[in-house]
Amino acid sequence: MKKILIVGAGAAGLDVLNEINKLKNGIKVLGFIDDDPKKKNTLINGVKILGGRNDIPKKVSKLKIDEVIIAIPSADGEIISEIVKLCTKIKVKFKIVPRVKEIIEGKARISTIRKVQVEDLLGRPVVKTDVEGLKSFFSSKSVLITGAAGSIGSELSRQICAYRPNGVSLVDRWENGMFELQTELKKLFPLLKLNFYIADITDKQRMSDIFKIAKPNYIYHAAAYKHVPLMEENPTEAVKNNIFGTLNMAILAKKNRVERFVIVSTDKAANPKNIMGATKLITEGIGKMLNGKTKFMSVRFGNVLGSYGSVVPIFQKQIENGGPVTVTDKKMTRYFMTIPEAAQLILKAASLGKGGELFVLDMGKPVKIIDLAEKMIRLSGLEPDKDIKIIFTGIRRGEKINEKLFNRDERKNLAKTLDKKIFITQSMGINIETLSENIKKLGNLLKKGDEDKIRKIIWEKMLI
């Protein structure tokens, strides 16, 4: 008999208990833990609430608990960190109920319970009050998502599907990623109308055909090249995909009378110091330039934890291989947000938009990369610089020590929205008056493959 302690005596904890009782597969819940003192010693479906989180060590020892399940979807990362620390100290296994999907659907499931990840330790609470408004926002709407197999695109796909729109069309040229996403979404949402397209956003005819079939009301444009050093070395591909891919999608959106077009942007677009950031700022400008009956808006945020090729999976591999963990600079900081929170706020910002805006997500406090490395080493049960060495490799081309979410002028125009985690401003730093003309010149240079002139026109003509 596997003995379980559930942390969280709310709706998610009750869902987990009920599913365990239904399954009858050699698992027994011996108690709940909840920080609300009024709940202590009360019963939920015959199972007692034994105390608060500080009681976990003695209850685990007394009841000979095999595993702790953390079922508090609305908790922030600090609380999860404390519970993990307690469990690690007493060497008891622990797992967590993922946060966003369960809140959207109002149901926690045993099948989705997983190991605690670094994202859980740094994440902020999910805002439950957004759910009903977004259900209404997506009701009877058809949605198209580009870059759907990527980190942000796939999470947007999961969350949008959970709101049960009329249908969802998913576009990406990454075949393996799309196969995995297709398998997952068809299992999670068997009754939802889903279409999966292997396609390149720069292919005008292919995308035009997809628009005719999908007939989208909303577009979430997450397809982009994002790796700074790679794009510095391959500027023509950054321009082709990020700028001309966006332009192609935007023109088709207007032609097909799409209601809303949401450009997923990045903090690298604020005072860009690299080609990738410059191309993303120009895509924000494209939305601003074409805004009209189709409402274009951009959502800008910093790094997301665990995205493909980002620092978290790199550190994980390095730790698994016994180190060393490589950090570029001791002073290097980055804003971090969990993928589910970023996706949730993108959806909320899009529902608030009236057209032409730049939404900037509140990323919280910047995190020192060295602190993140140390936290991940400890999450693996090891000690930094004792079991796993940390070495410093130096800043790479195009990188900044600290990122900013907006430039000086954007900050001056910053205003609050109804959601305290979302700010609104206008994209600045792009020469909007001559943007159309300079995009044409850029297209001609792209055909010739003239990298030097491409860089020159971006930095000298397109950005202010």
Active-site positions read: 268
Token pair of 182 as six digits: 């297709």
Residues in Cβ contact with 391 at an 8 Å cutoff, skipping those fewer than 6 apart: 324, 325, 326, 327
d(CA 454, CA 237): 11
Token pair of 258 as six digits: 């799409």
d(CA 227, CA 270): 16
Determine the distance from the C-alpha atom of residue 116 to the mean position of all C-alpha atoms in its chain, rounded to a whole number: 17
Determine the distance from the C-alpha atom of residue 296 to the mean position of all C-alpha atoms in its chain, rounded to a whole number: 20
Q: How far apart are the first and last CA of the chain?
A: 67
Q: Which residue has the tokens 């995308």?
A: 207
Phi, psi at residue 201, to the nearest 5°?
-65, -15
Token pair of 76 as six digits: 């922030």
Q: Which residue has the tokens 């149901």?
A: 107
d(CA 449, CA 442): 10
d(CA 397, CA 129): 43
d(CA 398, CA 339): 24
Cα–Cα separations (whole angstroms), residue 42 to 46, 50, 59, 63: 9, 8, 16, 18
Q: In what order do the strands lie in the sheet with 2-7?
A: 27-33, 2-7, 67-70, 93-96, 114-115
d(CA 299, CA 303): 13
d(CA 373, CA 319): 9
Nearest to 155 by CA among 343, 368, 376, 377: 343
d(CA 195, CA 173): 14
Cα four-point dihedral sign 143, 432, 267, 283: positive
CB 311 within 8 A of CB 336: no
